[in-house]
Structure formats: C-alpha cells, structure tokens
Structure 1
Amino acid sequence: MTPGGEPRLLGPAQIRELAAEVGVRPTKTLGQNFVHDANTVRRIVAASGVGPDDVVLEVGPGLGSLTLALLGVAGRVVAIEIDPVLAQRIPQTIAEYAPQQSGNFEVILADALQVARDDLPAVPTALVANLPYNVSVPVLLHLLGLFPEIRTALVMVQAEVADRLAAPPGSRTYGVPSVKARYHGRVSRAGAVGRNVFWPEPKVESGLVRIERTDEYPTDPDFRQRVFDAIDAAFAQRRKTMRSALATWAGSPVEAERRLRAAGIDPGIRGEKLDVADFVRLATTD
C-alpha cells in the first residue's frame, strides 16, 4: 500500500496478470481497451475535478485502472460493468489495491444504455469514464439525461468523437452529438490520450471531453425529446435548408417555414449553423 493509505494503481504487468487470471481477452464487441498507464488515469481524475463530496459514476471499469485512481480522491464510486466476469472480479481488485477505500465502491452488472435511476445505489454527482467507443455518445447522452444531478462529466472517447462533441456551430464536425451535448452544458476538449497507454493498443486516437452542467434548459424528458427530435430532423440531410429538412418533422414545408420564422430562424439556413438555443426555440414554437 502506498503512503497515507492511497490506492495502488495498476501498471501493464498487473493488467495482464489480472486479465490472465480471469481468462479475459479484450473484445471489440464490448469496446474493451484497458488503460495500463498510471499517469494517464491520474491526469483523467485531475481533469475531472472530482473530490470527496462527489459520488462518481464510472462506466466500463474493466480491470479497475481508472477506478482505483478515482477512489483516491472521490467520496464514492459506483461503476456499471456489462461483462459479468469483470464485474465479479473488480471488488476483489479494489480490496487488494485500495483496502481503505473499498467500502466506498460498488459495481452494478448492467448495460449502461439500459440502466435506470433505481438501478444505482446512489445518485451520482459526476461522471468519469473511459466509455466504450462503439456506444460512447448514446451512453453519454443517456446518463446525462437520466441524472440531472451529474454536475460534471469527464469522458474518454475516440478523438474524432471528442472533436464532434466539442465542435462549435458552423464547424465541419458540428452535428447531432455536438448540439445534444450542449443541451446539457458547456462542452470542451480536455486533452488527448495516446494509443500506447492501452492494452490492447487501439487503432484510433483518443480524446478527453469535459461537460459542465449549466441547467440552462429543462431536464424534463418529454421536453428534451421534442428538442432532440428537431435536431435529428435538421441533420438527417445536412445539405438541405431547414425549410426542407424539417418538412416531415413539422408536417409540411409550409408549416416548417412558419415555425422557423416564428422562432426567429431563417428558413434558408442549414442546421449546422444553429446553436442549441435555436433548436429549443424551434421545438417550443407552436
């Protein structure tokens, strides 16, 4: 154990030993790439800004690399793991590497895309995770919508996805993920992560994204869905003007134009030029 009772962190040798012990071979289907670099998980935790008052939600803890680093600073960590073998093993890993913090950790065997509020033993105040890259955006949006109590999120995703999430209106990468993430709060890039800190090494670069909750828009699921439906329609065919893109959503091109003008939006503009505030006005204009 490290001085002061701090958790010991996992390195490349420990990651491989744990994986061999439980017979885990990382699968592309579950998006499993395990971080084995202690400095990287320390950097992620520092960028997240979580502290002893936070209940941190982690998705896909895997073998426990990031979990151990989180337990060094957070008051409590609740992890969602879809792999039953990993979910069964991680409490033992926490007990071995962070004995003084093991009482502050719980793991839930579940699919993060299907999890409900009542499935968790505590309401999270922060989300910190190396998200499975194949479902990173749906998981992120589901959890931010499900738990408005999450004040900050710091997630590692594929670099291309990180660029999309943090893209401003009018940029080439701005799209549905950008607008929907901005509905929940301020979105920014928080750094890059190299391939060499993972096992197995992925074929893509990774990036960190930070979201700070702003409470600017209602958390009511029905209201949010109305806004998201308008966003989906606007970007379904990027090259179309809003008048054309929203024709089906509004019921007709004439009705689409009427609603756009009522919301103060030029019907000839394209969706990529609009910010989330524009979509909120549009969705709430009768």
Structure 2
Amino acid sequence: MELMNVGKLMYLMDKYDIKPKKRMGQNFLIDNNIIQKIIREADVNGANVVEIGPGIGSLTVGLAQVAKKVIAIELDKKLIPALEETVGQYPNVEIINEDALSVDFDAIMKERGIEEEYSIVANLPYYITTPIIMYLLESGFKVDKLIFMIQKEVAARMVAKPATKDYGALTLGVQYHTEVSQVAKIPPTVFIPKPKVDSAVIKLVKRTKPLVDVKDERFLFQIIKAGFGKRRKTLLNSLSNSPLGLTREAITEACLISDISPQKRMEELSLQEIANLAVHLA
C-alpha cells in the first residue's frame, strides 16, 4: 500500500501555508502503521466509506486503495487544495466541503446511487467527538460500522462497565446502538502537531436491534440523563429532583417492582436494569 510520508505532509503544509488550527482540533496523523491498522479494522475492501475530517489526506490515500468509493467530508476550506492534490490520482475519492454535524449522510450516498450500508472512518477532533458520534447513531443512518480515532479518555467511557468511574450516559448511548471495542492505543508522537493527550482507535459495529427492548426510547434516555446528571445521588434523589416530574413514591414503587434498591446510584445499574426501571416509571 502506497501511503503518505512525513516529508510529503510537510511539503503540502508549506506549499499551501497550512497551520493546524487548535480551535478545530487539527492534528494530522503521520504514522503509516496506525493508518494500516485503521484500514484493516474498517474492513472496507470493495465497500463504500465516508471519511470525516480527512485533513490533508494521509488516511484518505489508504482508504482509496481498498474501498469502492470514498466520500471525504472536510469542514476547513483551507485544507481542500492540499487534499485535492493528495488524492488527485484516485477517481474513487470525492471531496465535500461541509460540516459533518449538518450532513444527511444517507442523502449524500443516495445522490450517488449508493443504497446499501456504508462505513464511516474518522480521526475526530476531540471537541466534536461526542456530538458527532451520537448524531450518527441517533439519526438512523444506514451505517454498518464506525472506526474512530478519539481521545483515550473518551474511548474509556464508551467501553466502560457499570460501577466504574468512566461509566455514564455516553457509555449507554453508544452501547445501546453498537457493539463497541477499543482496537488500538495511540501516543501523541504520531501526530503533527502533537496533542497533549493520548488517543485510541475504537470500532463501533451497529447492532441489528438495540441492546435492550423498550417501547419509549426517548423516555429511557431521559431517565439516563436525569440519573447521571446527579451521578453521586441515589436513584430516589436524582430522579425525584429531575425535570421529569416523578414523585418519590412512584420512583420507590418502580424500583421495588424492578428489584432495584432506590438507594442505588444510576452508575451501578446495567442498561437492562435501567430499561426495566424506565418501563415501570412510564
């Protein structure tokens, strides 16, 4: 596989006067071993893939050599000329200058005659990680898997287990929709410029159906938000003081029916236990 080297990256940055923008979380990946690892995990040979935030195109080049079609969505107009030069020899790459948080991914694919499921790959800026992941999962796009390089601490929250410090609303939102695993740890030294934190590569495989069966998904996540909004308080206190209008009597009764102590905290419950509780609170 022919990939970009550091010299080419630095040449393009100099040629197009590119200075990574801290406010946009721009850190360009320069380690080809990690790039190949991401591509292997994405498993997009002959498939369609969307890359969010391609930057100058170090990962895009690798994806272009194995995928059927690569849609590269880049917000920063300043990077587009360098990205075009990087992927110019690959006719299966299309660059779109848009904000991924406002893109209808299914519509983009359909406009190009792509009706089947597709994958999403990204080296996500840290400031946008949670919003973009939840947007992609909650919008119901025809995505089969997502491979993201993100801040290590955020990755830990996504794979966390109950009764741990990293377990929270993000954990449950991600695990409700996907089977998630951490596939690599990434040091700051593989980026230009070096971030101040370690990173990780996570793989999210979309479930054929959600992890738990509930009639009112919206209410389930309202309960989760309320419980983790005051995570050190008991279920009885956190839920009764939430905007949901639940009485202490109703919460106590629902907890007892669900075989859950109202003195427990939300962080101690599995998603299935929370789902049971939500059913009896509805």
Could you say whether these structures have the same fold, taking a TM-score greater than 0.5 normalized by the shorter chain as the test? yes
- The equivalent of 2:60 in structure 1 is 67
- The equivalent of 2:195 in structure 1 is 202
Q: Is 2:251 the counterpart of 1:256?
A: yes
TM-fit CA distance, 1:193: 0.9
Indicate if the aligned counterparts of 1:108 and 1:120 stay in contact, CA closer than 8 A.
no
Q: Is 2:94 the counterpart of 1:106?
A: yes
3-state DSSP class of the match of 1:121?
helix
- In the alignment, the residues of structure 2 paired with residue 147 and residue 84 of structure 1 have an alpha-carbon distance, to the nearest angstrom, of 28
TM-score norm. by structure 1 comes to 0.86
Indicate if the aligned counterparts of 2:28 and 2:56 stay in contact, CA closer than 8 A.
yes
Q: Detail structure 1 runs of 4+ shifted over 6 Å in the superposition.
A: none
Indicate if the aligned counterparts of 1:242 and 1:267 stay in contact, CA closer than 8 A.
yes
Query: Cα distance 1:117–1:44, how it changes in 2: closer, same or farther (>3 A)?
Result: closer
For 1:34-86, what per-residue CA distance to the aligned partner results, in whole angstroms no more than 9, with x for missing partners? 0012111011111222221x221211100001111112222221222111122
Matches within 5 A, 1:230-269: 230-247=223-240, 248-251=242-245, 252-269=247-264
- Give the AA of the match of 1:206: S
TM-fit CA distance, 1:118: 5.6
Query: Cα distance 1:281–1:90, how it changes in 2: closer, same or farther (>3 A)?
Result: farther
User: Among residues 113, 116, 119, which one is paired with 2:104 in the alignment?
Assistant: 116
User: Among residues 51, 55, 80, which one is paired with 1:58 in the alignment?
Assistant: 51
- The equivalent of 1:149 in structure 2 is 142
- The equivalent of 2:83 in structure 1 is 90
Q: Is 2:17 the counterpart of 1:34?
A: no
How many residues in Structure 1 have an aligned counterpart in Structure 2?
A: 272
Indicate if the aligned counterparts of 2:106 and 2:141 stay in contact, CA closer than 8 A.
no
- The equivalent of 2:17 in structure 1 is 23
Structure 1 portions without partners, runs of 5+: 1-5
- In the alignment, the residues of structure 1 paired with residue 86 and residue 216 of structure 2 have an alpha-carbon distance, to the nearest angstrom, of 42
TM-score norm. by structure 2 comes to 0.87
- The equivalent of 2:38 in structure 1 is 44
Query: Cα distance 1:74–1:28, how it changes in 2: closer, same or farther (>3 A)?
Result: same
User: Among residues 8, 16, 29, which one is paired with 1:14 in the alignment?
Assistant: 8
3-state DSSP class of the match of 1:56?
strand
- In the alignment, the residues of structure 2 paired with residue 92 and residue 260 of structure 1 have an alpha-carbon distance, to the nearest angstrom, of 60
Structure 2 portions without partners, runs of 5+: none
- Give the AA of the match of 1:229: Q
User: Among residues 264, 274, 282, which one is paired with 1:279 in the alignment?
Assistant: 274
RMSD over equivalenced CA pairs, Å: 2.3
Q: Is 2:143 the counterpart of 1:132?
A: no
Query: Cα distance 1:31–1:223, how it changes in 2: closer, same or farther (>3 A)?
Result: farther
Query: Cα distance 1:266–1:48, how it changes in 2: closer, same or farther (>3 A)?
Result: farther
TM-fit CA distance, 1:245: 1.2
- The equivalent of 2:171 in structure 1 is 178
